[in-house]
Structure 1
Amino acid sequence: MGKFKLIATTAMGIEAIAADEVRKLGYQCEVENGKVIFTGDELTIARTNLWLRTADRVKIVVGEFPARTFEELFEKTKALRWEDYLPVDAEFPVQGKSVKSTLFSVSDCQAIVKKAIVDRLKTAYKKDTWLAETGPLFKIEVSLLKDKALLTIDTSGAGLHKRGYRAGQGEAPIKETLAAALIKLTNWHPERPFHDPFCGSGTIPIEAALIGQNIAPGFNREFLGEEWPWMDEKIWADARMEAEDVADYDQKLNISGTDIDHRMIEISQANAFEAGLGDLIEFKQMRAQDFTTKSEYGVMLGNPPYGERLGDKKIVEKMYKEIGHAFQKFDTWSYYFLTSHPEFEQLYGKKATKKRKLFNGFIRTDLYQFWGPRPPRK
């Protein structure tokens, strides 16, 4: 079909990391709030779905235009070449959102876009009757921002954070995409030890192992675009073959995770085995402040409890003080902690080398970075 304009959507604050991933796959891109914009062909769609660790979805841009009236939205939607994407039997639900726009009724915008596409397809396929919608699924979104409409088709299906390995999880699991972004914000590389002292269901250590062995995060899942008639099966097969060829299964790793709750350790182990990484990661029940190691120049990355609930606050603050004291002994290590607690540095007892604002779901957090010395060159 040629070239597509594509958008990789991301959580706020990690757009630059996703853009770096897109560039490393060989595509030029631009960054806007919550999205990375690039162009590519069918293989690009397959490769970015398989490889993007920090993006939420990959979408095809069908059209962009100003829309201040329902008539304008209808006519400009109908003018787009929907038949290039949707077969005659396509199932195409329309989702919507509207921010700071004259057309603020999302349900009305969805209905108008749906009717415009139906009219376009009826003309294109010379159909007098209704469209059956019994064929492959195409999820369409109309997004209105400041009176500008953006019409997209989702190629991913389930969000890209759904890698397929999470058999179980705890109360407040970190998204796999955010976990991967946090790892990329550290100075870790596969030759260095890596430890998560608050591992929960094991997401951060598992993502580290996937990165360490250069395993495509989407390798063991399916994508919505695989069902489309114009996306040849060979495209997906080639993309998966490439991923298999560049994976470094021989890369030795020293990755560990601990948690105070033995049930979470069992879940972590099950998730790691589901990901095919069970033998690579060591999980153990332990308090964070009891961490000890003989390794040097390691990286510790943790998403500790934030103490947001009143009853937990004192316990969490005491634990922050204790880990600050305990970790000082391992002065060649670098430490990274994600928390929403505004007084983390004071409690930890040390000023961060750097802070970075991120959102864990809807919670505004900071990644506190305490950089250790660089390892000596081998």
Structure 2
Amino acid sequence: MQKITLIATAAMGLEGIVGQELRDLGYENVQVENSRAIFEATPADIPRVNLWLRSADRVKLLVGKFNAYSFDELFEETKALPWEKFITEDGEFPVVGKSKKSKLYSVPDCQAIVKKAIVERMKQKYGIANRLEETGAFYRVEVDINKDEAWLTIDTSGAGLHKRGYRVGQGEAPLKETLAAALVQVTNWRGGAPFVDLFCGSGTIPIEAALIGQNIAPGFNREFASEQWSFVSDRQWEEAFQEAEDKAEYDKPIDITGMDIDPKMIEISKKNALEAGLGELVSFKQMQARDFKPRDKGGYIISNPPYGERIGDRKEVEETYRQLGGVMKDHPTWSVYLLTAHPQFEKIYGTTATKKRKLFNGFIETTYYQFFGKK
């Protein structure tokens, strides 16, 4: 079977989590770099990883990479790549690009040259004298030049993988589904203990936790660009969806609660959970974090609380942190995981984290504070 190289891209700080996801899926020799994990695969793996990866942004097919110091080199090296193996004669292939710390810094020029080179290659290989029709399947080509090394890829995902298809409503600054999944994956919670999100917003963390708890593939209810590609067969897609169906543990009992002070967000959360097919699995209730009183032992709190970035909100947010820290001191068997950008969080919360991890929530640099419960 044809060997290909795939790249799972990720937000900064999540690439290690994506690399571990790939290893857990059975892929070997996974190479983790800044914002991406690279691995060898086959066309049959394109459906599989798109369906299963929880924390990756996209899955891209690497067509080739080379050094390019001039536009002539960029053209000739691009033209030498086997585009016809992937793009059909009538394929639509817009070219997007980026360039960083490179001699070829004009992105529009790089895009135009790559497009021209692919067109020349395709016309030559398919024996076409006139212009290409580009009325068929969609192939988004990207030229990414960094320190004069050009990587040419085709996006297999289409819409970003964070678009699971269940979000029918959201708040002002919703947490990306991929980051929410990563927050759960960093912990060792896999469904066997009570799970609470005290600041659930539109319900993203509880919903992603439910998908993880029942081993439901996050891409099960959406479409992908590569479903239209001829070199990934319908049978391969059917087998990938069947594997996802077979591995789902729909009957596994899980105890997940999402709480928020805003009743509107609770209603939105319920609608999103319903859309995800998890309406009966996840409970949502309007409640202030400081009023939370754990009844069970050994539970997990995983939350993305307000950061207090607006001056007027800071005192209220800090008081919430302080009160929550006081509540959880009385429940040492609970593990608490909180993502915030507040620089004095540990001091206000009143406890030093067992472990910390730098993550980006959009463009905001945050810290994921992890307080492990006592067994």
Say if 2:84 is the partner of 1:71: no
- CA drift of 1:24 comes to 1.3
After superposition, the C-alpha distances for 1:283-323 in whole angstroms (9 at most, x for unaligned) are: 00011111112111000011001111122112111211111
CA contact (8 A) 1:289 1:327 kept: no
Say if 2:271 is the partner of 1:270: yes
Say if 2:280 is the partner of 1:279: yes
CA contact (8 A) 1:337 1:367 kept: yes
Distance in 1 (alpha carbons) for counterparts of 2:276 and 2:145: 38
- CA drift of 1:150 comes to 0.2
Three-state SS of the structure 1 residue aligned to 2:320 is helix
Q: Show the 5 A alignment for 1:345-360.
A: 345-360=346-361
CA contact (8 A) 1:187 1:299 kept: no
In the TM superposition, structure 1's runs of 4+ consecutive aligned residues that sit over 3 Å from their partners are none
Distance in 2 (alpha carbons) for counterparts of 1:191 and 1:183: 13
After superposition, the C-alpha distances for 1:164-197 in whole angstroms (9 at most, x for unaligned) are: 1111111111111111111011231311000000
2:16 alignment partner AA: A
Three-state SS of the structure 2 residue aligned to 1:190 is coil
TM-score, with length taken from structure 1: 0.98
Distance in 2 (alpha carbons) for counterparts of 1:256 and 1:194: 6
The aligned residue for residue 57 of structure 1 is: 58
- CA drift of 1:329 comes to 2.1
Distance in 1 (alpha carbons) for counterparts of 2:229 and 2:355: 45
Say if 2:113 is the partner of 1:109: no
Three-state SS of the structure 2 residue aligned to 1:64 is strand
2:75 alignment partner AA: F
Unmatched tracts of structure 2, length 5 or more: none
- CA drift of 1:160 comes to 0.6
Q: CA RMSD in A?
A: 0.8
CA contact (8 A) 1:333 1:372 kept: yes
TM-score, with length taken from structure 2: 0.98
When structure 1 is superposed on structure 2, of 323-332 and 10-19 the one drifting more is: 323-332
Q: Show the 5 A alignment for 1:120-135.
A: 120-135=121-136
The aligned residue for residue 233 of structure 2 is: 232
Distance in 2 (alpha carbons) for counterparts of 1:338 and 1:96: 32
Three-state SS of the structure 2 residue aligned to 1:42 is coil
CA contact (8 A) 1:258 1:283 kept: yes
After superposition, the C-alpha distances for 1:324-359 in whole angstroms (9 at most, x for unaligned) are: 112222221010100000000011011111111111
Three-state SS of the structure 2 residue aligned to 1:153 is strand
2:159 alignment partner AA: A
The aligned residue for residue 19 of structure 1 is: 19
1:25 alignment partner AA: L
- CA drift of 1:125 comes to 1.0
- CA drift of 1:98 comes to 0.4
Unmatched tracts of structure 1, length 5 or more: none
Say if 2:142 is the partner of 1:173: no
The aligned residue for residue 7 of structure 1 is: 7
The aligned residue for residue 260 of structure 1 is: 261
Three-state SS of the structure 1 residue aligned to 2:96 is strand
CA contact (8 A) 1:18 1:52 kept: yes
Three-state SS of the structure 1 residue aligned to 2:199 is coil
Count of matched residue positions in the alignment of Structure 1 and Structure 2: 374
Three-state SS of the structure 2 residue aligned to 1:207 is helix
The aligned residue for residue 319 of structure 2 is: 318
The aligned residue for residue 149 of structure 2 is: 148
The aligned residue for residue 188 of structure 1 is: 189
Distance in 1 (alpha carbons) for counterparts of 2:88 and 2:246: 34
2:275 alignment partner AA: E
Three-state SS of the structure 2 residue aligned to 1:293 is coil
Say if 2:146 is the partner of 1:139: no
Three-state SS of the structure 1 residue aligned to 2:44 is helix
